[in-house]
Each structure stands twice: as C-alpha cells, then as structure tokens.
Structure 1
C-alpha cells in the first residue's frame, strides 16, 4: 500500500474549525480575544510610556492595577456599562505595561532583542495552548484547577521565603516553575471561560483579564530567563 498516497493532505482551515463549540460560544470567545487584544495594546502603550519617560511606577503601578481590577469586577456587566468597563480594562492594561518597566530595563541593558524574542515565544506558547484547550475534549483540563492552585501557593511561599534566604537556586525555580505553571493556566482558563459561558456567564471583558494575566506572567518570566542566560553566556565568553 502506498503510504504517501494514503496520507491525508493537511488543511489550515482545520485550525479554525471549532465544530464542537456552539455559535454563541464562538461569538463569546471572539469578544474575549478582542478585549484581550485591547488590553495588550494598553500594556504596550504603558511599556512605551515607561521607556520614553523612565517613569518608575513600581508599587504605585501595582496598586493601580489591583484597584482597576477591583473596580472592573465591581462594575456590573451590562450594555450601559460596556464602554466604561472597556475603558477600565484598557487602563488596567496601561498600568500593567508600566509595571513591566523594570523587567524591560533589565532586558535592554543586556540585549534589547530579548524583548522581541520573549514576546514571540510567549505569543506562540499562548496560541498553541489556547488551541489545545479549544480542540481538547470538553472539561478535560478543568481538573487542573486544584493542582494549579496548589502550585501557585508553593510559588508564593517560595517567593516569600526567598526574601529572607536570598537563594539564586530558589529564584530560578520560581522562574521556570512559574512559566510552566502559567502555561498550564492558559489551558485551564481557556476551557473555564467556555464552561462559564455555557453556564450563562457572558462577561467577556472580565474573562479576557484571566488570559491577559497568564500572558503577562509568561512574558515576564521568559524575559528574565532569556536575559539571565544571555548574561551568563557573555560572562563565559
């Protein structure tokens, strides 16, 4: 039998064929990713503002981001509040971009190309894991919730302890384990958004926040990992 002749031709259209999802769910996901894109543009604007003005937000940016998240969560999802909530979401993206400032400065001091590489890697990871979650059997990744919660608790505890221990090994563990953890969160959050919509939760603006946090968490860690590796290579050379 001719194996080459029997091989099915790959069609790129299969990457957008989510026949297992209803039309309403597809529309919801389209709105979620539109809001995610808007939030990402806000983060890019915030990062650009930091690079141009060297504004050191630090704790102020973090507090502003938390405040905006709470404001967004407290504002009801309705047609009347849609414009207001989109503005809050964009502002949240801007403050998150400002918060990335010190990490971007770290990368620029070593090699500015690190930022581009980390962004492309994060985008590829995010798209791949999102597609995996959407193509996978319904609810197949939701069991990760307990594991991810425990993993996040371990990372937070390690971060707290490392304030006193100051161990580089623990810091590296936080970086690599954190990157892997938030990759898994992309799988979990994507399927959770689908399930929430099926059960009547149509707040696509808030759902985009979950994915945005996952993206930024992976992006930040990849910048640091790539920066440390390149710094090490330069030192060895």
Structure 2
C-alpha cells in the first residue's frame, strides 16, 4: 500500500472535539482581534521608524499601560464593544510605537533581522497555539505557577544586571525570557478556552493576553538575532 495515496482530511485536522462550538466561535473572534491588533501595531512601528511622528519611549509605554487599564475597566457588553475595540486599537498602536527603539537598534545591525524575527515569532506562536488547542483541556494550566516563578527570576536578573552590567547575564535573561513566553502561549491559550467554557466571552481582553505574548516573543527574538549577528561580524574582522 502506498502511503502517499492516502487522502488528508483537512476538516479533521481543524476539528477540536474537546472545545464546544460557542468557544470555537469565541476563539475566532479572539484571533480576528489579534490579527487586527498586529496590523495596527505594525502601523505604529512604521510611524516611529519611517515618519518619526511619534517617538517610542516612556510616554508611549505610559500611554499603552493607561489604555490597557481603561480597557480592563470598561465593561464587556454589546453597547461598549466598538468603544473597547477602539481602545484596543489605540493600545496596539502605542505598543507598536514602543517597539521603535528596539527596531532602530536591530535595523542598524541588519534590517533583514526584522523580517526573520517576525517569521520566526509567527512560526513559534502558531506551533505553540496549535499544541494548546489540540492538547487535552487544562493539560497546560499547571504551568501557571512555574511561569510566574520564571518571571520573578527574570526580574531578579534585571536587577542584578543593573549593578554588574554582564553581557552573559543579559543573554541568559533574553533566552530564558523567550522560553518563558513560549510557555505563556500554551498557558494563556488554554486559560482563554477554560474562561470561555465557563461563560467569559470577553474576546477583546483575551486578545490582549495573546497580543502581549506575541509582541514580547518578537522583541526578544529580534534582540537575540541582532546580538548573534553582531558577534559574527566581530569574528570576521
């Protein structure tokens, strides 16, 4: 029997039997909002890098945090849906602007790293998302405590490096942070599913969790690739 003659059932691959229909509809809304947020964030990054109308820094960070709190404080209902989507768009735009300084650094090293990092982030995000969707329900929720502990370690690394200025410590922070954020994609995806199954259908706020995961992975991957590229250039000299 020729294994290559077998037909691949795409519908079966896309069927998540352990997830209810209403939750699958909710996930479609979450990922649609995520796609919109990524487009708006890209526009914010473009505005910083190309037009320089907005500068990424403390103001953009404070603005994005303020909009995130505004979104969290605005109740989820049909009457506020458009308002909350507008707040989400503003949050995504300022987050994109906030990526500006990192993009400036990476572009100065090698502009192609930006595309490579985005493609790499997309692959990582899709793979870990599918792992969470196809896995048994709640199977990755145990990671919550470990991931929060990992964030505490990262904070400790940051504080220590303020005094030591160690390149090795900074690299450890980047690689460990990348690993932890991959874990958060698994955790947040399954947590969103559980919340939706229990009646929490706030797809806009759930989108924020995944959006921050994506942006953080993208930022760390850009920095790691840029650092490795700089080291290779030094070795060639």
TM over 0.5: yes
State yes or no: 1:22 paired with 2:47: no
- Where does residue 129 of structure 1 map in the other structure? 128
Distance across 2 between alignment mates of 1:91 and 1:166: 35
Contact 2:57 2:98 in 1 (8 A): yes
* SS of residue matched to 2:79: coil
Q: 1:158: Cα distance to partner?
A: 1.0
Distance across 1 between alignment mates of 2:64 and 2:182: 22
State yes or no: 1:223 paired with 2:232: no
Deviations 1:143-177 (A, max 9, x none): 00000010011101211221122111110011000
Q: 1:5: Cα distance to partner?
A: 4.8
Distance across 2 between alignment mates of 1:176 and 1:27: 35
Contact 2:20 2:197 in 1 (8 A): no
Distance across 1 between alignment mates of 2:67 and 2:162: 27
State yes or no: 1:115 paired with 2:114: yes
Q: 1:134: Cα distance to partner?
A: 0.3
- Where does residue 47 of structure 2 map in the other structure? 49
Matched pairs, number: 235
When residues 155 and 7 of structure 1 are mapped into structure 2, their CA distance, relative to the original with a 3 A threshold, is farther
- Where does residue 169 of structure 2 map in the other structure? 170
* SS of residue matched to 2:201: coil
When residues 195 and 230 of structure 1 are mapped into structure 2, their CA distance, relative to the original with a 3 A threshold, is same
When residues 220 and 5 of structure 1 are mapped into structure 2, their CA distance, relative to the original with a 3 A threshold, is closer
- Where does residue 104 of structure 1 map in the other structure? 103
Equivalence map 1:146-165=2 (5 Å): 146-165=145-164
* Structure 1 vs Structure 2 CA RMSD: 1.5
Counterpart pick for 1:33 among 17, 31, 37: 31
Distance across 2 between alignment mates of 1:188 and 1:135: 13
Q: 1:15: Cα distance to partner?
A: 3.4
Contact 2:56 2:101 in 1 (8 A): no
Q: 1:16: Cα distance to partner?
A: 1.5
- Give the ranges of 4+ consecutive aligned residues of structure 1 lying more than 3 Å apart after TM superposition: 4-15
* SS of residue matched to 1:141: coil
Deviations 1:76-121 (A, max 9, x none): 0010000000000000000000100011011110111100000000
Contact 2:45 2:96 in 1 (8 A): yes
Q: 1:207: Cα distance to partner?
A: 0.1
Tell me the TM-score normalised to structure 2 length: 0.95
Distance across 1 between alignment mates of 2:8 and 2:169: 44
Distance across 2 between alignment mates of 1:213 and 1:180: 15
Q: 1:10: Cα distance to partner?
A: 4.0
**Higher mean C-alpha displacement, 43-52 vs 158-167:** 158-167
Structure 1 unaligned regions, length at least 5: none
Deviations 1:32-79 (A, max 9, x none): 001111111111010000012333230111111110110000000010
